[in-house]
Amino acid sequence: MKKEDLIKNLKEIVDIATKSIASQENINNDATDLYIASFCSSIIQYTDAIISLAETDNLIAIPPILRSILEAYVELLNLCKHENYQYVLTSNHFRQKIKKLQVTFEEPDNPYLQYTIENFGDIGNRIKEYRKQKYTVDQHISNFDKDITKIKDRFELAGIKDLYAGIYGQLCEDAHNEILRVESRHLKKNENSTEFSVLINWDLEKISHHILTAMDILKSSLIYTFDNLDFANLDVFLPEIEKREKIINSYFE
C-alpha cells in the first residue's frame, strides 16, 4: 500500500467519525452530555491534526497532540463512568483560576500578568468569590475517594492507569523536550561519530504506534459517547471505521 492510500483511509475515518456526531439531533442540554460530546469531538479534531502532520511528514508535533488526545480521553471516560464527575472538572477549573490570580501577588511586576492585574479589579475579592464557588461545587464530589486533581489519579479513576505508566509518560517526555527524546529526533549515533540532522530522524514506521493509538482512542471514544448519550446508528458508522482500520493496520505490518 502507498502512503497516499494510508492517508486516504485515515482521513475517511475522521470524516466518518465527524459525521457520526454531527448527525445526532438529541444531545441534551445537560452538562455531562455536552462535555462528553465535546471531549469526543476534540479527540476527532486532534486525530485529524495528526493525520495532516503525517501527510506532510511534520512528525515532531504528533506526540504532544497524542498526549492531548489521551488527556481528553481520560476526562471522557470519567464522565461516562462516574456520576458527578462534571463537578470535578469545574472544581479543577476554579482551582486553576485561584492559582493564577494568587501569582499576581507574588509577581506583580511580571509583564505577562499585567493584563490580569489591570483588568480583574480587586483580585483579592475575586479570589474569595472563586473560593466560595469552588466550595459549593466541591459539595458534589464528596463521593470520590481521593483528591483527583492530579492527572495520574484521573487515569486510575478512568481504569487506564497502564496507559499513564506506559505511553503517556513517553509523550510527556516528548512534550517537555527530555534530552533523550531530543536525541532521538536529531542525533544518529554511528560507530565512531554522531550524525546531526535539522530534520527529525523519524519516519511513519517510527511513529506508527502513535497513529494507531490515536485511531484506537477515537473508536473507543465514539463507542462510549454513543452508548452514554443514546446516539443512533453506531451500527452504521462503526463497521465503516473498522473496515478502514484493517487496511491501516496492514500498512504497518
Element (DSSP H or E) covering residue 189? strand 187-189
Average pLDDT over residues 71-83: 97
Per-residue confidence band for 79, with pLDDT thresholds at 50, 70 and 90? very high
**What CA–CA distance (Å, rounded) separates 6 from 2?**
7
Query: For residues 148 and 88, is the Cβ–Cβ distance under 8 A?
Result: yes
**16 has a pLDDT exceeding 80:** yes
Pairing of strands 194-196, 187-189: antiparallel
DSSP 8-state code for residue 112:
G
- Its pTM stands at 0.93
Per-residue confidence band for 124, with pLDDT thresholds at 50, 70 and 90? very high
Q: Which pLDDT belongs to residue 26?
A: 76
Say how many C-beta atoms besides its own lie within 10 A of residue 122's C-beta.
Answer: 9
Which residues are within 8 A (CB) of 1 and not within 5 positions of it... i.e. 6 or more apart? 247, 250, 251
**51 has a pLDDT exceeding 80:** yes
**127 has a pLDDT exceeding 90:** yes
**HSE-up (13 A, CA, CB side) for residue 245:** 17
Per-residue confidence band for 120, with pLDDT thresholds at 50, 70 and 90? confident
List the domain boundaries for the chain. Answer: 3-82+144-175+203-252
Q: Which pLDDT belongs to residue 114?
A: 92
Average pLDDT over residues 8-32: 93
Q: Pick the closest to residue 76 from 182, 159, 10 (CA basis).
A: 159
N-term to C-term CA, the chain: 11
